[in-house]
Structure 1
């Protein structure tokens, strides 16, 4: 997240005033499926239910990939797990656990594409259905085609682990549709070498290059031309039309939710905002606002809590702001109330979180 710019004290009115919420407003979304998968991959060494609750995911609810969570919350989850266990191969285990059947129509479209290259082309076009923070690109190069993962943001530990898991899942899904083993030519990762990367090369079956200029998988032309087991042109066309419709709906709803988050963030220094006031500002009725949030798998209360949490996390990473200032800017009348809420959200006090992320 980018650093925010705040005029923290309004002398005339004797109060703190937020001049910008850039720290929060560039936040994106990922499917809660990823959070559930990474917690499951971490195994019994962690309290999975508690970790999911800290990320705003009900551990007892059904696994719905359309239920989203903020990307910063997902990265926090990964970083919390990293304090509990060795996460060197956690992204690989997470990626290996991904199943096409869990992706709904997108998973079916991946299967129904006639070639593996066609499957990845579906990912390139429809990735927005499960994340707003990653874009994919198929780029021809002399040796074959690069399947590139584009993800903006601070190269924090959570993001780096997420990138590894994403590329590992790309191979896992390919191996589920191909009649022959899928082995890329090379894998590239922008971040530095972990303590050991033998597990990475064993999983991908090829050299893994760290400190690269991009995050990507290099495939040979023969691999991408390989026919899929269940490829079917007729079914594929039907599914693509369905995905196009979903993509249009998601684009509208994500825009509304994103605007709502920004509006809530701007209103927090006046206390807890009311749904009808936010709806009025967005130009929709309270009833329509409630319905559209529900369709996106989120309530106004949850949206407000997530906004508070992620704004607080972003501000805590900016050392210019005291805890009292952050408490005010996130809608708390007292610092003690902020401390209790933050500990409930992420399992740490604000001061502990700030110390633990000093070097990230």
Structure 2
């Protein structure tokens, strides 16, 4: 929607006051149509967790950055399982895992350790789709941030968001629904910068958060967190998140339209239903396995007990979904290993431990079976600009 980005944000915002906005209602219609057309997910390497989707508007922006820097898109997109036609319009949907791979790969190719932050700071509230328009028409900044927990899945199924209030303020926490994707830096930093930029745009104030929190380690490179986020940063947190004071949360959203807000909320409820969607069984299995792998192999019996069923019942329900426990564990180990190799500087021994092996040798054998190359060959290939 380049025509939205090209318009001054204050002039487009004025069109929301008192009258239905044609652009906004047209976006509602297109979003509803695309959700109705969405097919069911497959399993295996494209299991239900991997099949969580995100609107292509973010990937289109990344592709534009790569193109401007002189990179050939076809090869980069192929690495993450995409083709050019996947990025046809901002309201189309792609796999969330593919988007995460694209932003992390783009940061390497562009040679920019602060790419995620800069990307997030470049998004206006209207650039983020339907739930952005709900924020634009919420009474206060606190209401706008709280709406993200309820409606973010309209445009991005890959994120879990929680708005937690306490006596001093509130925190908007977010992390990947697929636990194997958590802790990748540029995606997390993009989201935090986008939240801060949005808070300032909604209130027309230079809002300063109390703190930003990230699950990933502090990067070795020098990153301008203070300049973009305007606040201290905590690393190795349980969730990514941005903390705001109660005074900041009370700031009004300038130009909000309560009538339009009700229309938008009704449209979003039609998309996501009266209550948030429950995670699929495969998602629950993956979630538990990812959390436990660093402690060693995760027996099927442990997972079944955690989910409140017998091992035989769990195996049967997985078969009904075209999956098996052994294949899921293999998928998780492969996913995690590939991400640790591509996006961290962890030694092979550390990676082996994190994915449930007691030593590197069995991981090397498994990785050759998965990819046809050694872990170090894979890392060198992914790190090559």
TM-score, normalising length from structure 1?
0.62
Distance of aligned partners of 1:65 and 1:23 in 2 relative to their CA distance in 1, 3 Å threshold = closer
Once residues 48 and 165 of structure 1 are traced to their aligned partners in structure 2, the CA distance between those partners, rounded to angstroms, is 23
Pair 1:94-2:119 in alignment: yes
- Correspondent of 1:240 among 265, 280, 301: 265
Q: 1:63 to 1:172 in 2, by over 3 A?
A: farther
Instruction: Choose between structure 1 and 2 for higher RCO, CA contacts under 8 A separated by at least 6 residues.
Output: 1
1:281-296 matches, within 5 Å, as none
1:88 CA drift (Å): 1.6
Check 1:82–1:239 CA distance in 2 against 1; reply closer, same or farther (3 A cut).
closer
1:31 aligns with 2:31: no
| Partner in structure 1 of residue 217 of structure 2 | 192
1:147 match? 172
Cα distance change of structure 1 residues 149 and 313 upon mapping to structure 2, 3 Å threshold: same
Counterpart of 1:351 in 2: which secondary structure? coil
Cα offsets for 1:225-252 (capped at 9, x unmatched): 1111121222111110111112239x89
Identify the residue that residue 296 of structure 2 maps to in structure 1.
none
Residue 206 of structure 2 corresponds to 181
Give me the whole-angstrom Cα distance separating, in 1, the residues matched to 2:129 and 2:106.
Answer: 28
Q: Deviations over 1:113-171 (max 9, x none)?
A: 111111112211011112222111111234311111132423677x3211111111111
Matched residue, 2:94? 68
Q: Is the 8 A contact 2:56 2:90 kept in 1?
A: yes
RMSD, matched Cα: 4.0
Partners of 2:180 and 2:332 within 8 A in 1: no
Q: Distance in 2 between matches of 1:43 and 1:186?
A: 34
Is there any run of 5+ residues in structure 1 with no aligned partner, and where? 1-19, 259-280, 283-309, 327-348
Equivalent position of 1:223 in the other structure: 248
Aligned to 2:261, the other structure's residue is in SS state helix
With over 3 angstroms needed to count, the CA separation of the structure-2 counterparts of 1:218 and 1:53, relative to structure 1, is same
Q: Which residue of 1 aligns with 2:188?
A: 163
Task: Give the match for residue 107 of structure 1.
Answer: 132
Partner of 1:207: 232
> For 2:54, what is the secondary structure of its paired residue?
strand
Asked if residue 136 in structure 1 is aligned to residue 158 in structure 2, the reply is no
**Which structure 2 residue ranges, 5 or more long, are not aligned?**
1-42, 284-319, 322-330, 339-362
Aligned to 2:142, the other structure's residue is in SS state helix
Stretch deviating more after TM superposition (113-122 or 33-42): 33-42
- 1:206 Cα deviation (Å)? 1.1
TM-score of the superposition, structure 2-length normalised?
A: 0.58
Give the CA deviation at 1:313.
6.5
Conservation of the 8 A alpha-carbon contact between 1:149 and 1:216: yes
Deviations 1:158-215 (A, max 9, x none): x321111111111122222112222111111121111345511110111112223431
Work out the number of aligned pairs and report it. 268
Paired residue secondary structure (1:84): helix
Which whole-Å CA distance do the structure 2 matches of 1:92 and 1:315 have between them? Answer: 23
Aligned mates of 1:185, 1:45 — CA distance in 2? 35
Contact 2:86 2:92 in 1 (8 A): no
